[in-house]
Structures are given as structure tokens and as C-alpha cells.
Amino acid sequence: MRIDIISVLPELMESPFKTSILKRAMEKGLAEVHFHNIRDWSIGKHRQIDDEPYGGGAGMIMMVEPLDKCISELKSQRNYDEIIYLTPDGETLNQRIANTLSIKKNLIFLCGHYKGIDQRVRDLHITKEISIGDYVLTGGELAACVLADSVIRLLPGVLNDEQSALTDSFQDDLLSYPIYTRPETYKGLSVPKILLSGNFGAIEEWQHDEAVRITKERRPDLLE
């Protein structure tokens, strides 16, 4: 999978891809992430990329021309499955969206800044708009990292068996059951006896029941 991330602040996104599991995914050639600085497609000697909104109002708008040039250049080089704009106005990211994107080959993530992007960029290029939650960030960069992480970890070969994505919270619309490791008792708190029983059928049943109980308690909407 190849992800091209377009932003005014690519340096904000460097470390997640240089660390731990995402780093290994890059090194194994399972994922490629390329950063593009919008300033490289800026206009005039002032390297302008934003301007005041027509109709007035607070905040600057990212101009259509630099973004159109940048995206058009990328599109001339390969076919993109989706061109995604990270914005609080988008569809809220969930596991189903991450799963769907994880089988794509080429993706563009566009990070917004200031008040947002000129509507014509959306009309010309954007195929999907994604929000990572009902709150506003200073820009789309952290959201792009969240989205990339949620997708790249699903690529075959990225996680090993123990980390398997199949047992994640949300993969079957249930939150995780409680998990324990050594010691058996800590400050008077003991590991549930069933987990020490060696009866894997009973353990699986307990884990499922606990997952349902916790999901009912915290996220009943997931069971609807």
C-alpha cells in the first residue's frame, strides 16, 4: 500500500512512521508513506497557500490552485483508490472504514489547516471525507496519522500472531474482555480463576461473556 500525505506541516507526522510497528511495516515494504508539502505548489514569490474567505468571516482558507496542482500531479503518476480529506465534517472513522481502506493500493490523505480548504478542491478531487471524532484539532495531520495507523496495522504481515488484529476491540463490534499477566495476585487483586483452569473452551466463553458485559455497560450502541 502507498499513502501520499499532503500537508503544510509534514514534519508534524514524521515520528509515528519512524517508530515501532509502523516503522517495521515500512522497512518490510508492506507500506510506503510519502509526504508532500503544499508550499512546494504555492503561488507567487510570497509562496502563498491561503487567503481570506469570500463573503467575509474569520480565518484563512487554503487556496484551490496549490492543492489542485499537487493532487493533479500525483494523479498523473498513478491511479488512486481514494482521495481522503481529513476534516471534522467527515464520516467518523471506525473499524469498518479502516478495514475497507486496508485493501486499497494507493491512497491520498489531505490535511486541512486554518479554516479549511476551498470547496472546489472537494468538488474536483476528494472522494471521501473522514473525521476522527467530534472535536476540532489544529489541523488534519494528527488525524492523518491516526487513520494511517488504523489502516497500516491491518495489512497482512504487519502484525505478528500475538498482536493479531482479529482479536481487537471493535473487530466484531465488541469491546475487549479484561486481560491479565503475571503475577497471579497483586495488592490483593487476583486473576480470575477461570483463566488459570486450562479449560480453553470455558475460557473463551468467559472472555466472550465479559466482552458482551463490558460493551453493554460502556457502548450499548455497538450492540444495536
List the binding residues for S-adenosyl-L-methionine. Answer: 112, 132-137
Using the rule CB under 6 A, give the single segment among 8-16, 40-48, 51-59, 130-138 that binds ligand ADE.
130-138
Please pick, from the candidates 135, 161, 183, 188, the single residue that binds ligand ADE as defined by CB under 6 A.
135
Q: Which of 63, 84, 88, 177 touches ligand ADE by CB under 6 A?
A: 88
One DSSP character per residue, 19-53 reads SHHHHHHHHTTS-EEEEEEGGGG-BTTTTB-EEPP
Smaller CB distance to ligand ADE: residue 21 or 137? Answer: 137
Phi first, then psi: what are they for 25, rounded to 5°?
-60, -40
Cell numbers for 186: 497483586
Per the document, the length of the chain is 224
H or E, element range at 99: helix 95-101
Give yes or no for residue 86 binding ligand ADE (CB under 6 A).
yes
101 makes contact with ligand ADE (CB under 6 A): no
Of residues 139 through 158, those in contact with ligand ADE by CB under 6 A are 140, 143
Query: Under the phi-then-psi rule, with left for phi > 0, alpha for psi from -120 to 50, and beta for the rest, what region is 6?
Result: beta
The residue ranges that bind ligand ADE (CB under 6 A) are 86-88, 112, 131-133, 135-137, 140, 143
